[in-house]
Structure 1
Amino acid sequence: MKRVALSLLASAIALSLSGCNGDDGAQGLQGPQGEQGVAGQNGVDGTNGSNGTNGSNGTNGSDGTDGKDGANGAGLVRIATVPAGAEVTGLFLTEGGDLFFNVQHPSDTNAATENYNNRTYNTGTVGVLTGVNFNELPRNIINSPVPSSDTEKQIVMSAVGQYQILGQTGDTFASLGAKGLAGGLGVHYGINTKTEIIKNDNPDFNGFISTGANSGFLYTNWESYPGGMSRLKMSKNEFGKWSIEEAMMVNFDLVHGTAANCFGSVSPWGTPLTSEEWIVDSAVDTTTNPNWNNPDDHATDTIEALTAPAFPNPYRYGYIAEVQNPTTDTPDVVKHFTIGRYEHENSIVMPDRRTVYSSQDDTGGVLFKFIADQPEDLSSGTLYAAKLTQDAGLTDPAVTGFDIQWVELASGANATIESWIAQYDDINTSDYVDGKTSYISMADVQAWVDGKATYPTEAEGGSPITAGKPMDNRVAFLESRQAARLKGATAEWRKLEGLSINQDRVIEAVTGQDRVPGEIVEKAYMYIGISDIDNTMIDGQGDMQLSARVKDCGGVYRAHIDNNYNLTRIEPVVMGGTYRSSLSGAERCDVNQLSQPDNVIVMKDGRIIIGEDGFQGNNTLWLYDPKAK
């Protein structure tokens, strides 16, 4: 910058005439003004300062799309990968910040071990991430790498924490003596024969029931036909590592056993809710269960072995079962027929302790709602089904939402519904007639929907048990999807998977209570995992007419919860990448995006943990931040 020196000439004259004790004289004339002085010369410009030295080059930002350095642009962070052949199941986050998840059906050829557990992942595995509090997880977590070496592909890799194996299929916990499990973890027996039917490789839902700051019971579903549930009594040391103190398999004999215990939840009053994903009937427009008692149909042999020598009643399976008194020596189990019979993935109870939402994991599935008559008592209430209206002019799954109306099906109580179920207990293979059904028929369902006073006769297509008898509401609870579909609900979901809420976030949004420190939660959502957005969701018919762009890559939706704990709208949150049908294997869905999300859980800070059940070489446990959308 130039500096200018300016010289300024100034003069001042003061004239004072003053008489001493005399009058002042008259003022004289003012003299002429003097000439202005000459301006001074400008100063010489100063020399320019020397240039500063250049700063060092900044480091390049991480790409964030290769799954190694930074978070993906879509807000996804790869928290962990599971071994080859496995899917991620059993997501459960405790109040203490412990994240449980399972390795379901890994490849039996996996042979690698890692130092922490010194075990191979070639069978069903129940575990937890230790050394990290997920309730205080920072937002700058970087991705765990995509496994590349043979060893990495055969173990659990994680971005944070260390995966601790708690138990694997067949473990007897022999060191615990009488408190061990002689038959082995995940082993199921016949009710009457007490002989082994299956050694289950499919651990699914986890639910932790706390008994103290660092102790509790871990309940785990084992998904098979027949199904089962284990319970591990556990405690954690000061370094975050867990020890097993007692192991057992829950006794379901008094409820005629279970079928395909899939995902689940823990109720607000602290009881595990286990879901039977028994395949009720995958076709939505034909007579239901026509071949159940067909002696030539061997698809149900394992469930028949459960009750042998008696023949199983299909209406005993396909429900939500509540494990009551879960911390006692002998927990009680109650099947809630009131929530309906279908392929349950899981149920979520709202903070009002009455409203329950349930997902149906099948082709042509329905989203159901149940409202109990009394809080914390699911034994009686009213069942509803969702009717969807797709956003006009939109079909792409990434932007298309649905408004929800609720269709009332019926009210009922466990005791009444069980009395209807018992009427089918004595049916067996000798009652089978080719081309007919021994169970509820579609003619029966239609008569109920039409408000008929009596069931149709056998000549009119009715079934033998109810033919010509006065109408009741058994159809709504025993053939729930058929009843919902014919009542006008949307029966078009494909692989409607896990449902999840964060109780604290919902309570704050609905009641205004400060339940989430540092954040004002004004809207609350239930999150929904959808493994496949195909088939009945993209067939161009009915209420759901989405494009096939995402297809088998799937996605996650959210449903808005109003002040009455009612779901009013469903909208997409994050979708898998474009499905590339021209490619095979894992390449069909981008390894850095979702591939068939299965179960989801919502953290207190609003982030979502998502487990994959896809065809990637190594399925991923993702962390997604909705604020990135």
Structure 2
Amino acid sequence: MKSSKSKFIKCLVPVLGLALILPIASIPVSAAAGPVAAPVSVRSVEFVGMDAPATAEQMAQVYTKASVKVTYSDNTEKTFPLAYNKLFKTTDSIGGTIAGVAVDSAGKPIMDTSVPNNPQPYVSDDPDSNSLLQVQGAPATGLGGNPLSLITHYEYITHNQAGSSAYGIIPASMSHTIIDQNKTTGELTPVKLSKVDFSGVDGLWIPCNGSLTPWNTHLGSEEYEADARAFEADPKQTYVNPFVQSYYQDQTKTGNPYAYNYLTEVTVNKDNSTSVAKHYSTGRFSHELGKVAPDQRTVFFGDDGGNTMLFLYVADKVADLSSGSLYAAKWIQKSADNGGSADLQWIKLGHATDSEVKSYIDKGLKFSDIFLTSDKAADGFKAIKTYPSGKVEYLKVKPGMEQAAAFLESRRYGALLGATSEFNKMEGVTVNAKDKKTYIAMSYVEKAMEKDTKGTDPADDIQVNKISSGVTYELSLSGGQKDRDQAAIDSSYVPSFMKGLVWGEDLAQPDAKGNKAADDKVANPDNLSYSESLRTLFIGEDSGMHANNYVWAYNIDTGKLSRVLSTPAGAEATGLQFVEGLNGFNYVMSNFQHPGDEMIVADNLKAAVESNINQNFNNKSAGVVGYISGVPTEQQMLDAVAKETKPEPSEQEPAKPEAPSTSNGHDSSKPGVQPTGLIGIRQAAKAAGISLTWNAKAHEVVLVKGKHKLVIRVDAQTAVLDGQTIKLPLKTVMKKDSVYFSAAVFQQFAQLK
């Protein structure tokens, strides 16, 4: 047999195209590690979708049979199966607290007394937004894993024990769940749940969707604002008073509609406590959610309802939403097909701080303090039509009340200034940072978005073709833009053009399962989340047109649409959040709410589906909080291949132990046997004059030689050289506080110019 050294010289191949044939003398340790393999990289990632549920049993479950197919640069393929994991039902008690319980201002459960002599706490069946996050310095969970936090919305209470609607009357809530993340498998386990305290901001009004900010806080929402004009005329026309009376447990209390319908920000502190702020300066409208751009200043919104508006907020400071400028868009149509397309012109509504807007609320400002009204067309009055009124109104702003109008009545004021108030069911929002795109879901493209053939509306900017099953839009972002008055907009993320990207297909007649829209396309998109690494847009449905609602994966490069999750019939897919590489794992957070509600299942299936749902989800009283696992990170994709090509032990020879280091750095060696075919990286880098730094959080060593950078991760059989992933002949390991790396690859790096 030829010596290992001779074999190494003959078989050594280039790393990233750098042909470096090294003399034996350049390798200070035994070179028996075998040949340096050509780097293997990921060529493509594809979601392989699942079939739609076919049986009554499947239609009553939440499940996935989808997978991820990875194709590598050497043309090999590997499939990663997905799985759905339930964290908890809303009716479950986690650490002594019922997850979905409604609480009053004192944090006590609000009791349902609708059935005599049987008081029960109100418990929501409607979990929505999730933010899974990690707070550095958080206490250990006691289970040995990484401590994480999960903020979850409970949007509303569907009904009381007697079966009457409780929507909007019983205060909504959020929970903070301490999660244990298994360090080896990534499995998430709920440990303790507590309710987030909103008593300092007058309670929480119908929290729908939400997002995680770039600075690691949860950005919540309050949708479907009460009509302040209707409230002033007759408070019984709104839920405001019943809501505050329930929240404060005081039947004499009078509410204020202007206290609600803003973005809410929840901060999780190191001691697992939470703090809350309402950002009044982001405007008052039907906040589906707010999504912050990479600049940490620009915010995009969903505005749910009919006759709604597209807003933009630019904060004064990075990572601080307490003051800024609010804008509203005018749709300048280019086409009508497939959701249509349009240029966007931005109209500045005003600038304010949270405290300035809050001062108007504290003073008890009313609708009539802001606007003058007329019952018909008149000089100085402008006709508008907006949510929540839905009627033509003739208004003008009282002198000096422009700021109050802009931030307490954002949509009415925007319409008076000429912004478009014809959007319908504007839902989820997410951002593609690399391509500078924003995606917005319009659940039902109809009504005010269609051409006004009767000529009765005050404006008709949007005139697109009806698609009741909805459209997900793509908005192009750019800097250097000016508003309608030619004033510069201080953001590099201003939407300038909007077009349909993914749309559904309405059916003339329901199919065999009861679907009113094509089952192989998205129907009524709602939640959106985007993965930068996978180039994939995740779309969750809130459909009255699909018998079962789905979560889809849409590849923005190939246009492939894959069904990756099915929820129970009548349930809405909610809480969608793609979590990217959290301690080495990907997650697709995904909940569902109100299973079995308003089912459109075909008559021959309905009884069996309903029976199964009742059995699975506490007689339709429980929603579920959970996640899809199995979506691999790039490192996991590469590790899966590396394990299959690991050299046999017989190809390796013993090496001399590295001399102990006297350095105080991380890689200070202790006497011991050096792993075969590897060298101690700190000593080797020092000897070669190569800069070395240690990232304890990521367990990474970073080497810099001139213009070249090599990133080495402990327990990985890949490394990143000048931004490109390369495959290593041996896994990098840590032994007795020293990091050991492939000798051959290090020597090639050391030779780079």
- Bigger Cα displacement from structure 2, 338-347 vs 143-152: 143-152
Gaps of 5+ in 1: 1-135, 174-179, 282-287, 428-436, 451-460, 506-522
Distance (whole Å) between structure 1 residues aligned to residue 510 and residue 83 of structure 2? 38
Q: Looking at both structures, which has the greater relative contact order when contacts are Cα pairs under 8 Å and sequence separation is at least 6?
A: 2
Distance (whole Å) between structure 2 residues aligned to residue 581 and residue 476 of structure 1? 44
Alignment of structure 1 residues 257-336 onto 2, 5 Å: 257-281=203-227, 288-291=228-231, 294=234, 296-297=236-237, 299-300=239-240, 301-307=242-248, 308-309=250-251, 310-336=253-279
1:153 is matched with which residue? 59
Give SS of 1:623's match. Answer: strand
Alignment of structure 1 residues 11-160 onto 2, 5 Å: 139-158=45-64, 159-160=66-67
CA shift, 1:471, in A, is 3.5
Alignment of structure 1 residues 489-568 onto 2, 5 Å: 489-503=419-433, 505=434, 523-540=435-452, 542-548=460-466, 550=467, 552-563=468-479, 564-568=492-496
CA contact (8 A) 1:448 1:471 kept: no
Give SS of 2:209's match. Answer: strand
What is the aligned counterpart of 1:188 among 102, 106, 116?
102
CA contact (8 A) 1:292 1:314 kept: no
**1:405 is matched by which residue type in structure 2?**
Q
What is the aligned counterpart of 2:358 among 402, 418, 430?
418
CA RMSD of aligned residues (A): 3.1
Greater Rg by CA: 1
Give SS of 1:378's match. Answer: strand
**1:172 is matched by which residue type in structure 2?**
S
2:123 aligned with 1:199: yes
Give SS of 1:315's match. Answer: helix
Give SS of 2:497's match. Answer: strand
CA contact (8 A) 1:340 1:476 kept: yes
**2:345 is matched by which residue type in structure 1?**
Q
1:171 is matched with which residue? 92
Distance 1:252 1:439, change over 3 A: farther
1:235 is matched with which residue? 180
CA shift, 1:414, in A, is 0.9
Distance (whole Å) between structure 2 residues aligned to residue 205 and residue 407 of structure 1? 30
**2:272 is matched by which residue type in structure 1?**
D
2:537 is matched with which residue? 608
Distance (whole Å) between structure 1 residues aligned to residue 325 and residue 187 of structure 2? 44
What is the aligned counterpart of 1:487 among 407, 417, 423?
417
**2:519 is matched by which residue type in structure 1?**
V
Distance (whole Å) between structure 2 residues aligned to residue 537 and residue 584 of structure 1? 30
Alignment of structure 1 residues 247-266 onto 2, 5 Å: 247-266=193-212
Give SS of 1:167's match. Answer: strand
What CA deviation, in whole Å up to 9, does each residue of 1:584-621 have, x standing for no partner? 98432001111101011111132111001002221111
CA contact (8 A) 1:449 1:486 kept: no
2:192 aligned with 1:246: yes
CA contact (8 A) 1:610 1:621 kept: yes
Q: What is the TM-score of this pair, normalised by structure 1?
A: 0.64
Higher fraction of strand: 2
Distance (whole Å) between structure 1 residues aligned to residue 441 and residue 398 of structure 2? 43
Gaps of 5+ in 2: 1-41, 68-81, 112-121, 137-144, 157-167, 383-392, 453-458, 480-491, 560-753
Distance (whole Å) between structure 2 residues aligned to residue 362 and residue 403 of structure 1? 22
What CA deviation, in whole Å up to 9, does each residue of 1:236-275 have, x standing for no partner? 2222322222211100011010111110111111110001
CA contact (8 A) 1:424 1:439 kept: no
Distance (whole Å) between structure 2 residues aligned to residue 401 and residue 420 of structure 1? 38
Distance (whole Å) between structure 2 residues aligned to residue 331 and residue 292 of structure 1? 35
Percent identity over the alignment?
Answer: 28
Distance 1:627 1:269, change over 3 A: same
Give SS of 1:139's match. Answer: strand
Distance (whole Å) between structure 1 residues aligned to residue 512 and residue 327 of structure 2? 40
**1:535 is matched by which residue type in structure 2?**
K
Distance (whole Å) between structure 2 residues aligned to residue 404 and residue 389 of structure 1? 6
How many residue pairs were aligned? Answer: 436
What is the aligned counterpart of 1:382 among 302, 325, 344?
325
Distance 1:263 1:530, change over 3 A: same
Distance (whole Å) between structure 2 residues aligned to residue 340 and residue 190 of structure 1? 26
CA contact (8 A) 2:150 2:179 kept: yes
**2:547 is matched by which residue type in structure 1?**
G
CA shift, 1:524, in A, is 2.0
Distance (whole Å) between structure 2 residues aligned to residue 530 and residue 489 of structure 1? 18
